[in-house]
Amino acid sequence: MTGPVPLVICGPSGAGKSTLLKQMLDKYRQQFGFSVSHTTRNPRAGEEDGKAYHFVTKEAMESAIGNGEFIEHAVFAGNMYGTSKAAVETVRSKGLICVLDIDVQGVISIKKTDLNPNYLFVKPPSIEELEKRLKARGTETEDSLSRRLEAAKKDMEYGDAPGNFDLVIVNDDLSKAVNTLENFLQTAYPALQS
């Protein structure tokens, strides 16, 4: 593969990954690109094939996985999701830093490849704070909230384990978290300093 090494960003839902990424992309939009993931779920209203996701059949995805075309893949809520080698290569071939926003399962898969990205984990200050953030969204049922919090506890254990990530950011103060992320990125990707 050519181009800069990818950036893997991971963390529980509600930790603030999207907010941090948006801040960085506002500043460094020309240097980053996102790989478009594949999924077997149906498109939602307004989602375009090839932009939001590559929407494929279960059979096509299983075949591509069997052929070794995926860096990582997982099943979530009965649907398959994954990152293809081609999607990452498309971004890197443009000289961009490919951002992969994936879950812990995906991180574990990527660690078994030769991709060798920079790994970043974003976590909330506490499970209690995460619960407040998720409730504030107003999108969770009691059942889905408890499932997300259980998953978050496991994710945070993996995120805190030494050697799993190059940087763990506790997102308790957004401007501090942004500064920490920016310092890390400028060290990992010297081209961002110019």
Catalytic residue list? 44, 137, 148
Classify residue 137 by burial, with Cβ atoms within 10 Å: 0-12, 13-18, 19+: exposed
Helices (H), the chain: 17-28, 58-66, 85-92, 104-110, 127-137, 142-160, 174-188
* Residues constituting the chain: 194
Distance, C-alpha 161 to centroid of its chain: 18
- Kindly give the residue spans of alpha helices, DSSP state H, lying in 1-47: 17-28
CA-nearest of 33, 38, 168 to 97 is: 33
